A and B are shown apart, each in its own frame.
Chain A
Amino acid sequence: MSATLGIWLAAFLTLGLFSWMYKENPWFRLVEHVYVGAALGHLAVTGYQNVLDIAWKPATQQGKYLMWVPLFMGVLLFSRWSRKYMWVSRSSIGFLVGTLAAVSMTNAIRAQLLSQVAATMMPLDSINNIIFFAVTASATVYFIFTLQQKWAAPIMDLGKYGMMIAFGATFGNTVMSRISLFTGRLQFLLFEWLKLGN
């Protein structure tokens, strides 16, 4: 029974969002606002559960007293809700951003910079490899904004065309993606809600 009610509720919400395609209307606005509330609620609940599992229970039940430090720093974050005491959260945010920046930086150098440059150093013994190297090198030259030389212009042009091909392929895939997302909702409406087939 609750599943049937749930499916009808889900269908109501789904069609409400799609109704915007005809024109803006109160049904769509209502569902849009429900989405905001649900999304924020879910974020808060998952954060709460995470804190419970990784920090609170270990600190209070398993003797891991070091967990009180991040628990304290985490509570300080909520001072952002007050204009007067917002400064209290700065150290916690600094820690969060600093550690994440360190992780991202070290990983990007290895996995994206060095590995990718190494992979570009390929033997130029086939047409495909020559094209690959030429497009990569010229597109990389395009990003050197501090070096504006006339001789580099044709190379940068080749790079631009290479990137246009890449962005075009991205668009082609995005079309597939968007059609997929809509098809997924159609499958729900047709087969789970209206029960029109398998």
Chain B
Amino acid sequence: MALIRKLSNIDVRILYLIMVIAAIYPLLRPIGLPLPISDRARDAYAAIEALQPGDLVFFGIDYSPTQEAEMWPQTLAVGHHLARRGVRIVMLNMIEGAFRYEERMRDIILAEYPEYKYGENIIALPFTAGREAAFQSVVADFKGLYTYDLAGNPVGSLPLWNEIRGASDFKMYVELADAPDWWLRPMSQVPGLQLWNGTVASGASTMAPLYQSGQMIGFIIGMVGAAEYEFLVGKPGMAAAAMDTQSMGHVLIILFVVLGNIGYQAIKADESRAKAKRAARGDV
């Protein structure tokens, strides 16, 4: 009993240290645990794989630096896949902190895929405030909303911009967002526009029913989704490298929950017995 009391009263800083060591070790010495690829990730991959060269695709980068660890690997993997399909990409950004990720992805595509020429088959548009109102504006009057691109060039000088009439010209909206549904509500109005989403794990359950209902054609979740997609695209990266850490972390969290509850139940049972004994003795 004394041992159980001790185990249920460990200084949390010791637990923090254990978690940190468990997180660091697999990064420096990879264990090589398997990564099962889910059907959801395969379906998401197939959806982008079905795009044809020349299709117009919105590529929305809408997450803040707070979610960088989960979303940047997704951005890289999905960005590479879109570029390989040879689609025409229009990058958007409706979150204040995301412009650097948009810039970096644009630069990576231009550097690694020589067939991509800025302004001809890829455009990056600047941050637009307003959240859902900004998306609604894209639906209502896409061309009227923007006058300059991310780098400050007048959009009228970009050949691809002049080929686009409006949102209905687009085949797919690939949205990488850390917030749930304020992008999907307006974009679902555009007839024929397929909606594809990558999001953070903590907010994914809100999108689950929207995926199940068929409102979204592709859906990947968190760092695990990013790792799965990296393998499907053939470019294992940061997310894949972190999967062993995920495994260790999950095992420890389950262990701590069990430990905490064993202690709690044992102490509760002990106190019940003590209370019953006191009652039997007639003590108040």
Contacts and interface: CB of A to CB of B under 8 A. Distances in A.
Per the CB under 8 Å rule, do A and B touch in the complex? yes
Interface string A134-173: 0000000000000000000000000000000010011001
Interface string B168-212: 000000000000011011101100000000001110110001101
A50 B129 contact: yes
Contacts of B111: none
A135 B72 CA distance: 35
A103 B132 contact: yes
B222 A104 contact: no
B96 interface: yes
Interface residues of B, number: 58
B221 interface: yes
A175 interface: yes
A103 B133 CA distance: 7
Interface residues of A, number: 47
Given A21-B13, A176-B250, A46 B186 contact: no
Contact of B147 (A58, A100, A104): A58
Interface in B228-269: 238, 241-242, 245-246, 249-250, 253
A181 B63 CA distance: 13
Contact of B24 (A108, A174, A186): A186
A110 interface: yes
Contacts of B221: 173
Given A111-B184, A180-B69, A190-B24, A169 B13 contact: no
A179 B245 contact: yes
A32 interface: no
B188 A111 contact: yes
Interface string B91-108: 000001101000000000
A108 B13 CA distance: 44
B28 interface: yes
A112 B130 CA distance: 20
- 3 closest cross-chain pairs (CB), A and B: A184-B69, A119-B213, A107-B185
Given A43-B96, A184-B70, 19 more contacts: A46-B96, A107-B188, A111-B181, A112-B185, A112-B210, A115-B210, A115-B213, A118-B213, A119-B209, A178-B202, A179-B245, A180-B223, A180-B242, A181-B66, A183-B223, A184-B242, A185-B69, A187-B27, A197-B27
